[in-house]
């Protein structure tokens, strides 16, 4: 329905990456992101770029999909570029526009940040596009469970995340319904004076709030009626299992991280 929202959307395909344990994917993603922030120059980015590219290929994701995930970042990148060109005045003068000197460090710095951002988006998109939201929450709960020892409510947090994810489409549908109902009463979001626009937005937000609270109430009652107790010990219908390939991914990615740290020290 909404092609603009690509970031974080699950793409149901059958691929080795889709079948992997979500915990392994999240752990590998973290190792990847840490490696990304260790500055070893363009060699590091080249290595990480190859890894993420291989991941996208293995996941059978279309390049156009990844490209669409980049799109919303474009404005930010252009903004970064202008800021850098303006602020950084070191290195040699590469070229000048309208009498404004652009320094080499500014160009390299911008390139650096842009590459880093692109790789970051690419890696996170790869994980979210290949992992079902429900699997993701189970994985988050599992990964956070060691923190239970210090009183961190891992299960509650995971439950909250999964409920929030579950209600995104419901609330989208609801807001569309309310918009139509108010449009029938003459609400016009595009035209009108400032005060009329405020009124129009109010006429959407108030009903949306009312129905969200109502839904939350209903859900709480339904959960309680089924005997939900956040502190109870529970078993799971879906069990995650780390296979050899999952361990290989996590270990491999950590080796890459170690390698990059070594590179950093040597350089």
Site residues for other proteins per CB under 8 A? 1, 3, 174, 177-178, 180-188, 202-203, 206-207, 210-211
Q: What is the DSSP string of 46-89?
A: HHHHHHHHHHHHHTT--HHHHHHHHGGGHHHHHHHHHHHHHH--
For residues 200 and 206, what is the distance between their CA atoms, to the nearest angstrom? 10
48 close to 78: Cβ distance less than 8 angstroms:
no
**Quick one: 185 or 239, whose CB is closer to other proteins?**
185
Please report how close the Cβ of residue 263 comes to other proteins at its closest, in angstroms. Answer: 44
**Quick one: 153 or 207, whose CB is closer to other proteins?**
207
Please report how close the Cβ of residue 80 comes to other proteins at its closest, in angstroms. Answer: 33
**Quick one: 148 or 177, whose CB is closer to other proteins?**
177
Please report how close the Cβ of residue 168 comes to other proteins at its closest, in angstroms. Answer: 16
DSSP state of 21: -
**Quick one: 142 or 196, whose CB is closer to other proteins?**
196
Helices marked H in the chain — which ranges? 16-19, 22-36, 42-58, 63-70, 74-87, 104-130, 133-144, 154-184, 194-225, 244-266
For residues 68 and 55, what is the distance between their CA atoms, to the nearest angstrom? 17
Please report how close the Cβ of residue 116 comes to other proteins at its closest, in angstroms. Answer: 33
Please report how close the Cβ of residue 145 comes to other proteins at its closest, in angstroms. Answer: 37
Q: Spell 161-195 as b/e; 16+ CB within 10 A means b.
A: ebeebeeeeeeeebbeebbeebeeeebeeeeeeee
**What are the CA-CA distances from residue 101 to residues 98, 106, 113 (Å)?**
8, 10, 20
**Quick one: 39 or 188, whose CB is closer to other proteins?**
188
For residues 114 and 80, what is the distance between their CA atoms, to the nearest angstrom? 8
Please report how close the Cβ of residue 64 comes to other proteins at its closest, in angstroms. Answer: 14
**What are the CA-CA distances from residue 100 to residues 13, 85, 95, 104, 266 (Å)?**
49, 9, 8, 13, 38
Please report how close the Cβ of residue 214 comes to other proteins at its closest, in angstroms. Answer: 9
**Quick one: 13 or 262, whose CB is closer to other proteins?**
13
**Quick one: 162 or 175, whose CB is closer to other proteins?**
175
């Amino acid at each position: 329905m909404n092609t603009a929202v690509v970031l974080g959307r699950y793409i149901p395909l059958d691929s080795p990456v889709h079948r992997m344990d979500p915990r392994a994917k999240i752990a590998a993603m973290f190792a990847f992101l840490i490696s990304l922030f260790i500055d070893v120059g363009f060699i590091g980015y080249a290595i990480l770029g190859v890894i993420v590219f291989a991941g996208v290929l293995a996941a059978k994701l279309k390049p156009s999909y990844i490209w669409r995930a980049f799109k919303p970042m474009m404005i930010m990148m252009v903004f970064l570029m202008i800021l850098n060109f303006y602020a950084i005045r070191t290195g040699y003068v590469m070229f000048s526009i309208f009498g404004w000197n652009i320094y080499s460090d500014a160009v390299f710095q911008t390139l650096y940040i842009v590459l880093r951002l692109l790789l970051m988006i690419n890696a996170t998109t790869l994980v979210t596009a290949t992992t079902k939201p429900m699997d993701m929450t189970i994985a988050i709960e599992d990964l956070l469970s060691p923190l239970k020892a210090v009183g961190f409510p891992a299960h509650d947090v995971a439950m909250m995340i999964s409920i929030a994810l579950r209600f995104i489409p419901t609330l989208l549908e609801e807001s569309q319904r309310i918009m139509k109902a108010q449009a029938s009463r003459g609400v016009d979001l595009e035209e009108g004076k400032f005060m009329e626009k405020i009124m129009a937005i109010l006429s959407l937000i108030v009903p949306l709030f009312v129905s969200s609270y109502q839904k939350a109430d209903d859900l709480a009652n339904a959960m309680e009626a089924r005997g939900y107790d956040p502190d109870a010990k529970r078993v799971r219908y879906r069990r995650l299992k780390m296979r050899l390939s999952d361990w290989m991914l996590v270990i491999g990615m950590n080796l890459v991280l170690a390698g990059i740290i070594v590179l950093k020290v040597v350089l």
